[in-house]
Amino acid sequence: MIFVDTNYFLRFLIRDDEKHYLTARKLFEAGAMGKAKLFTCNLVIFELKWVLSSFYLKDKQEVIDILTNVLAMQFVDLAEKDMLMETVALFKNSTLEFEDCFNLFYAKSMEADSLATFDQKLNNKFKEMEKS
């Protein structure tokens, strides 16, 4: 099994270093063909979002598109992929921050009754989700 770090996704998606892009592409092709078993973690997805928006100055829609493409990679295992896909969908359709969107779904998955937060917008969304 091969753990895929943030920089491999970035080099493949941004293609700002041709040598690294080709190396990453080779690994992803091997994964897609079943010749390599790839996995990553939630923290990599969060770091990817942060680097795209803060360093590469990608706008929200570009970040959403890239994260959606990464999460669609069937050959990369990710423990909470479904929750992250829900997170991206909520992030797309709300004014909440990405990490707050994830925290809502995580709290729900853990059957939280309430949130201890000073963020009223987050708390309101949690209560709204409780009703649906």
The closest of 51, 44, 93, 53 to 71, measured between CA atoms, is: 44
Q: Is 128 exposed, middle or buried (0-12, 13-18, 19+ CB in 10 A)?
A: exposed
pLDDT > 80? residue 131: no
Domain with 116 in it:
81-131
| In a shared domain, residues 73 and 125 | no
| In a shared domain, residues 48 and 86 | no
Distant-in-sequence, close-in-space partners of 35: CB < 8 Å, separation ≥ 6: none
Distant-in-sequence, close-in-space partners of 132: CB < 8 Å, separation ≥ 6: none
Q: What total of structural domains would you count in the chain?
A: 2
CA distance 27 to 23: 6
| In a shared domain, residues 21 and 39 | yes
| In a shared domain, residues 56 and 94 | no
Q: Could you report the per-residue pLDDT of 16-75, keeping only the tens digit for each?
A: 999 999 999 999 999 999 999 999 999 999 999 999 999 999 999 999 999 999 999 999
Q: Convert 8-41 to b/e letters by CB count within 10 Å (16 or more is b).
A: bbbbbbbeeeeebbeebeebbeebeeeebebebe
Q: Could you report the per-residue pLDDT of 87-105, keeping only the tens digit for each?
A: 999 999 999 999 999 999 9
Mean per-residue pLDDT over the chain, rounded: 95
Q: How many CA atoms lie within 13 A of 11 on its CB side?
A: 17
Confidence of residue 129 (pLDDT cuts 50, 70, 90): confident
Task: Count CB atoms within 10 A of the CB of residue 110.
Answer: 7
Six-digit token string for 74: 């069937």
